[in-house]
Structures are given as C-alpha cells and as structure tokens.
A and B are shown apart, each in its own frame.
Chain A
C-alpha cells in the first residue's frame, strides 16, 4: 500500500481512515499537496477550499477518536463537478451567467455522499452548462489532460476526469447526457459509470436535458464506482424519476468472476472507422476478457445512426428550452460554441422532438431484443484518443458540429436508450495517451458491468498507473 494517501483508491483510503492507519487530515493534506502541484498545469479545480477541508478533516478525526464513524466514506475528501448544488455554495455550472449563483438546496447525490462521511475539497471545472465534449471552456479556460497537458480531457466532466486521473481527488461526480462521464474517463484514463436513467436522483443537479441527464461517478476503479453507486442510488421524494425498489449490493458484484459470461462485440458502427491504436486496444481488451473465461460473441445491433440523430434532436430542444430566457436576455454571456448549440435547438419543430421522444420505447425494445443473448456489449468510447487542445478548439466555426458529432458518436446512442455504460481504461497508445472501452448493459444492470469491469481490472494494471507530474 502506498505511503502517500492520495495515491490509494477510494475503497482503500476509506478503510485506511476507518482503521486509523491514516488520519483524515493526513489524507486531505496529501490531496491538497498534489492539487498545489498539479492545478497550475491542469486547471482542474474551479475552487479549492483548503482551510475548510482541513477543518472538516479534523472534525472527522475527532469524531472517529470518540468512536463515531459517520459512514462508509468517513473523512474521505472528495471534489465534484461544479453543477451539483450545495446550499450556501457558489455553483458556477462552468458559466459566466452563474458565476455568482449561490445554491439554496443541496443535491441528493451530494447529500448522500456527505451523509456517508465524505468531506469537500472544493469544486471541479466543467464545460459551460455541461454542453461540450472536449473540455474547453470559454470563461475559465481549457482543462488539461494529466497524461499530456497539450491534449484535451474530454467533457463535459472535464475537471472530474483530470482530477481523478492525477490523483487530486479519490473520485468525483460527473454527469452524462451525451457522453460527459465516459468521454473524460476515456481521454483521461479513469473509470466512469454512466448510470441507467432513473438509477440516481437528479434533484439539485443542474439540468441540461430532462430525458437524457444522468448522474454518475468517475473514480480509479470499478470497485470505487460500485461503492459510490451504492451510496447514491435509490428512490428520492425530491425526484419522481428516480426509481423505487431495493438497491443492489454493487460492491458484492465486483467480487464475481466472469467465466462463462457472454460479452457481445458489435458487428458494425462501433467498430467502423476506428483509429488504428483504438482498434488495437479494443482487440487486446477482448483478448483479456476471453482470457478471464468470458465468451465473446458477435451482436448485430439496430442502426445506431438513427439513435444518434434522435439523441441530438432531444438534447438540442431540451437544452434550448432550459436556456431560452437567458438566450433572450443574456446571449452575450455565453461562450460562442455553447450559444451556437443552444440556438440550434430553437429551430427544431415540436413534432420532430416528440417523434424522437415517442421512438425511445420501440428503440429500447429493439435494442434489448438484439442483446438478449449476451450479458453485456463492449465497444470503444470514442473512435480516437485525445486530440490536442489546439486542434479541437473549434469554437462556433462551421466545423464545430462535425467535431462534436465525431467525438460523441459512440456515446449518444446509449443516452438515448437510457442504458448503463461503464467506461474502463483498457490500454495506452504508443504516444502514452489512455484509451477506454465501454461496457454497455441492459437497463438497471450496473452490477453486471461492475462485475466485468472489476474482473478486467484484477487481470490488468492499467487503472493503477499514475501520470507523472508535469
């Protein structure tokens, strides 16, 4: 086990604090030391709350000394995407418009982590209003990739991906509406879980699209994601879309073997036009899973291009509707690309939007029929590794929509279908950039994905590799 607490996994550090092998103060200071070293080159944090974090750590240590353990995350410092409301805190949503917005409520996801004993390190950078897949931000600057600071992090949970990869926080909440957890997990080389629509309450989380928004964690391992999902999932009177019923034991699921499981490889779309390095790592990932005893079979999925298009129609309209008042009153306060994309949604007829919404049921039914014979599907998160910040800084140019569509091609169909997807670091390019694959499950079958992901991580060490300090 590392002598630097910040290098432990979430699961390891929670245990180490509970067993008093590290204090919460030592752990928090370790994270703050790394943040001080990395923040100038990564720009991953929106706000660093060092003094408050150390005070909270001292309180956690004092409580533990008296035998009062608050929960599974007692004294563990965490930071989250700056779109989760916490009463009394500024929540910028990565925007100029909300630069001074002080939340009056605390989001359910944050409150559940806090109730489990987590303490707050600060808030993390993000794409403006979570509407961008690259990690650029016109107001607060681009977030940088810890594996190579000239490259993008992916977005919209850009700070979450960067900070978890650089070991500045043990885990971070992200949100995924079109790929915003999985893309940073892919480009930054961490584990990211896009949950089933309805699995985690969205109360107190900034909205982008009510049909497509999901809450989920980015962390160092499938085991860590399982721990966080178990704490956050479940019914919530504040969010009627959060499903009722018992929450599975996700941590227990990560201990399962995968021998005999059937994992599907798509015959088209997700295997088309891949960068050769991504294709190589995809093949190597499949070989590892096969080596662990999984049966790899081909699956023929329905036309994913139609799903991508439907997702774009729904997202564009719902985002424009949320923002319409500010589009009229404060258009000058948006970054050029976000303004452009929000304006796009204004021109989509209501009938087209509703057709896309009405088709979701049949499209999901067709997908579930196609995957009836497999336990999960595996596919790349994106067809390429991380582009440079310079080459992907397309703003509102005529090429912008094409660049966005290319990066999100493999993630959007999953949002439209509301399915869970676990993005796992599964290799590195010869240039040293991480590449992730996504395991796609049936609705509410996160446990199966976490089981396969954990088995892969027991067989490999990619998720344990740490970027060298810039």
Chain B
C-alpha cells in the first residue's frame, strides 16, 4: 500500500492518480513558478469587485 496525503491507496491506484492528474500539471506548467512574489489569492476578489464597482 502507498500513502497519499495520509490516505492509504494501492500501488495501482497511486499509478492511476499520477496518470490522471498529469495533464492538469502539464496544462498549468506555463504559469507554475512564474507568479510574482506579492500576489495574494485574494487578488481575485479585488479584480472581481473592481469590475462591479465601476458599473
């Protein structure tokens, strides 16, 4: 048995997980590791609210 984030899974499942999420990592690769230091997740709400406030 393997252990993924504290949940026991079989080796077969561990392999399947790796295959399933691979495309998501590949798709996000151009962004990963490029974000500026000061960027907060809350910047999303700022952008969203800025659009609302300007109406």
Contact = CB atoms under 8 A, between A and B. Distances in A.
Interface of A: 196-198, 243, 245, 303, 305-306, 308-310, 312-313, 316, 320, 324, 327-328, 340-341, 343-344, 346-348, 352, 354-362, 364-365, 368, 396, 398, 401, 405, 418, 442-445
Nearest to A368: B51
A143 B2 CA distance: 36
B16 A340 contact: yes
Closest 7 CB pairs of A and B: A309-B27, A361-B43, A360-B44, A346-B5, A312-B24, A309-B28, A357-B41
B6 A360 contact: no
A358 B20 contact: no
Given A309-B26, A358-B39, A398 B19 contact: yes
Given A358-B35, A364-B44, A320 B5 contact: yes
A360 B35 CA distance: 11
Given A197-B48, A340-B16, 16 more contacts: A196-B48, A309-B23, A310-B31, A313-B25, A327-B7, A328-B7, A346-B17, A354-B41, A357-B41, A358-B41, A359-B39, A360-B44, A361-B42, A361-B43, A364-B48, A401-B20
Interface of B: 4-9, 13-14, 16-21, 23-28, 30-33, 35, 39-49, 51-52, 55
Contacts of B43: 358, 360-362
Given A320-B5, A444-B55, A344 B17 contact: yes
A372 to B, nearest CB: 10
Given A347-B17, A359-B35, A313 B51 contact: no
B25 A324 contact: no
A343 B4 contact: yes
A306 B28 contact: yes
A362 B41 CA distance: 10
A344 B20 contact: yes
